[in-house]
Amino acid sequence: MRPLTAKGTGIMVKDDIYQASLEYHSRGRPGKISVVPTKPTLTQRDLSLAYSPGVAEPCREIARNPDDAFKYTSRGNLVAVISNGTAILGIGNLGALASKPVMEGKGVLFKKFADIDVFDIEVNTLDIDEFVDTVARLEPTFGGINLEDIRAPECFEIETRLKERMQIPVMHDDQHGTAIISGAALINACEITGRKMGDLRVVVNGAGAAGVACTNYIIGLGVKAENIIMCDSKGVLNKQRDDELHWSKLPFVRDVKGKYLADVMEGADLFLGLSVKGAVKPEMLKKMAKNPIVFAMANPDPEIDYPEALAARPDVLMATGRSDFPNQVNNVLGFPFIFRGALDTRAKAINEEMKRAATMALARLAKAEVPDSVSRAYGGERFSFGRNYLIPKPFDPRVLYYVAPAVAKAAMDSGVARVKIDIEEYREQLRRKTEPGRAVLSVALSKAKQLRKRLALPDATDKRTISVAHQIINEGIAKPVLIGEKARILAAMEGFDEDTFEIVDPARPPEHEVLETRLRESQGMFADTKLDAFSLAALMTDLNMVDGMLSASDRVYKETVPSVLRHVRKRTGVKRVVGMHIMIIKDKVLFFADTTLVIRPTAEELADCARLCSEAVAALGVTPRVAFISYNIFGASPDVEAQRVRDAYELFHTRNPGIESIGEIQADIALSPDEFRNVVSAERMPRAANVLIFPNLDAANAAFRLVRVTAEAAALGPMLLGLRRPANVMPRVATVAECVAMAGITLAMPVLASESGLYRKAGDDASGAWRVAK
């Protein structure tokens, strides 16, 4: 049956999504999670280490030193998701067993977003003492406790008692997750509307777990308690209801005349909804102050739909729990990353300082430029800080390395961390988890940040080029030298200090005697002739007026590369400039060449290409293992094309005996030699190749494009190798993040190459000899 959708939204209607969910959960192995061994279990010896008798020794070590449990077991990365099923989503009390699908789902989110392992535990009791005793006795098993779907008011007492009794992080996500994320949205909404927290007049609808927690949390952010009016399902919490209210609601009782929600909305700046669908009517919004902030967070449907709210108040800033409306307050922006930071510092608790650090990190991230990868995850929609983008999107991978380090630092600063970690190093480790291949790229990025060199960015009025300039300034990678029309560039760089970038207008090129001479020689120009930005950037690069150049604009090949090749000279001894792509495939990084320039290279040129690639790969901290790719293998065919590749391998191998190389060889064998030991011995090829030299441009270019699409790989490049000064050109399909990474590589590569253990001999001639440093 074709899925039904709500008109214009692409969202499945409820009957269909419910049926699809049943099929999803029952298909294949029932449920959503499983336990997977992290150590080998292939042999009898493996089993004797995993269990008896070998396992006895870690037991003894932990008995001697309990902290060794973090060394020898999974405790440091294991969280319990625990419920009694009394408040399942918006459904209600269905019991412990019925809550299991939700708890498994929570485990999936922990693993997906923060690589945290989870056991879901459903406790079949309504008795608070029994529940607390059961959970507390589980402390030796886990690094943290996530309480879930426990009804109010019992949840307040349960969490409080467990936090007092246990020495590991305990957090009831229904309370604090929503508070932390909506708090970030509120900070940014106040900034956009020019409000101060202490001046806000607030109406809260919903006095359950989330409502009480969110209200207490915004008081901690600076909202005055006396400016808050709270309602529950029976109406306003006023003095007339003192006797009937639970203790958790008493702090919010106010001496007001209004009895119902509609009576107290007049002049309110902020509405916090944690109640039920339809609780707010359009006429209520019309009573609110100018630019009202409306956080209608009822689950699964908000107190008022976004289109209805917008029709009533076009000036509204609105957030909901729904993904099809702007500003989704989704708890997945919080709990995985808060626990990640807590676990990695072995924190004894999740305290207010850690929660506030998470809020501030989310608010800060919302103001950062949103990468293309996030836009692609949301159908190509573009996001930028403003009314419709107050908080990051759940599928923004940067949340991990923004929030977790902030939480970890707060844990250390507030004294609940058991271990101290280097926050910047930790942030980099997390970035590597979210950005495949960053382990390789981080070598260049770290070096670029140390150097802080000047990078020419031609065509700097181009939108993508400006985005790249913004990001390399924000990340401290370089000082961009923006080449283009000065007035337009200044407008695009508004908000950045002028000492963080430079502008060169081709209409008024810098005074430089050699530059003027080169212009006349290469282009036959008169001194006052208007100069294109790419030629100027290339000439400035060649003349060492800048430290390198990167073309990041949305231009075709013929508009960019010829300027580089015409004006930036080759290195001594280089046959041809070549292009190398860095292919990032999950946790594997490969290097393909020549993907860009030389259509049908000779054997000499192929050997030289391999030499240049080996230098670049070694500079990135990777040991090059070169394979010369062919349809043929080891001389099986006398064909002249196969012979050309074979000759290239022989030239390279003879001149560079210290580098692992093989050829001519088929691509699958080069990448998976262990599967073809009947063809190639372990002695001849002990490990898989990582540098693939293709026989011609057709093969190399087709290969990198096929891999990029079919393997969902990131293709970074091409890197132009063989130039005397660093200059690179990004393709039209490149993302801003890829351009920023290439900026770091461009500037760092000359220094890294000189520091690498693999280097050119002094006075190297056209033979291109290399050796490995002793």
Task: Give residue-wise pLDDT tens across range 674-703.
Answer: 889 999 999 999 999 999 999 999 999 999
The model's pTM is 0.71
CA distance 536 to 456: 9
Higher pLDDT, 91 or 137: 137
Question: How sure is the predictor about 735, in pLDDT bands with cuts at 50, 70 and 90?
Answer: confident
Look up residue 250 and give its DSSP letter: G
CA distance 411 to 357: 9
Whether the per-residue pLDDT at 587 is higher than 80: the answer is no
Higher pLDDT, 572 or 409: 409
Which CA distances in Å does 232 have to 148, 212, 237, 304, 663?
A: 21, 10, 7, 17, 75
Q: Report yes or no: 331 and 173 within 8 Å, Cβ to Cβ.
A: yes
**Nearest residue to 747 (alpha-carbon basis) of 457, 512, 391, 401:** 457
Q: Is 773 helix (H, G, I), strand (E, B) or coil?
A: coil
CA distance 649 to 217: 66
Q: Is 200 helix (H, G, I), strand (E, B) or coil?
A: coil
CA distance 17 to 14: 5
Instruction: Give the CA dihedral 380, 383, 388, 393, nearest 10 degrees.
Output: 80
Q: For residues 195-200, give the mean pLDDT.
A: 97
Question: 183-192, 412-421, 427-436: lowest mean pLDDT where?
Answer: 427-436
Look up residue 508 and give its DSSP letter: S
Cβ neighbors of 59 (< 8 A, separation 6 or more) are: none
Question: How sure is the predictor about 371, in pLDDT bands with cuts at 50, 70 and 90?
Answer: confident
**pLDDT tens column, 314-365:** 999 999 998 889 999 999 999 999 999 999 999 999 999 999 999 999 999 9
Q: For residues 165-178, give the mean pLDDT.
A: 96
CA distance 68 to 51: 18
Q: For residues 459-477, give the mean pLDDT.
A: 92
Higher pLDDT, 299 or 426: 426
Q: Given the residues 106, 163, 249, 453, select the one marked as catalytic.
A: 106
H-assigned helices in 620-666: 640-655
pLDDT above 90 coverage of the chain, percent:
71
Question: 495-499, 630-634, 669-673, 753-757: lowest mean pLDDT where?
Answer: 753-757
Strand order in the sheet with 78-83: 117-122, 78-83, 144-147, 170-172
Q: What is the pLDDT of residue 761?
A: 38
User: Which helix H or strand E contains 6, and what residues bound it?
Assistant: none
Whether the per-residue pLDDT at 436 is higher than 70: the answer is no
CA distance 390 to 401: 19
* Identity of the amino acid at 324: D
- Cβ burial 118-147 (10 Å sphere, 16+ → b, else e): bbbbbbeeeeeeebbebbeebbeebbbbbb
Q: Report yes or no: 729 and 646 within 8 Å, Cβ to Cβ.
A: no
Active site residue 18: no
* Identity of the amino acid at 330: N
Active site residue 378: no
Q: Given the residues 18, 24, 51, 72, select the one marked as catalytic.
A: 51
- What is the chain's mean pLDDT, rounded? 89
Write a three-state SS string for 314-354: CCCEEEECCCCCCCECCHHHCHHHHHHHHHHCCCCCCCHHH
**Nearest residue to 173 (alpha-carbon basis) of 161, 159, 187:** 159
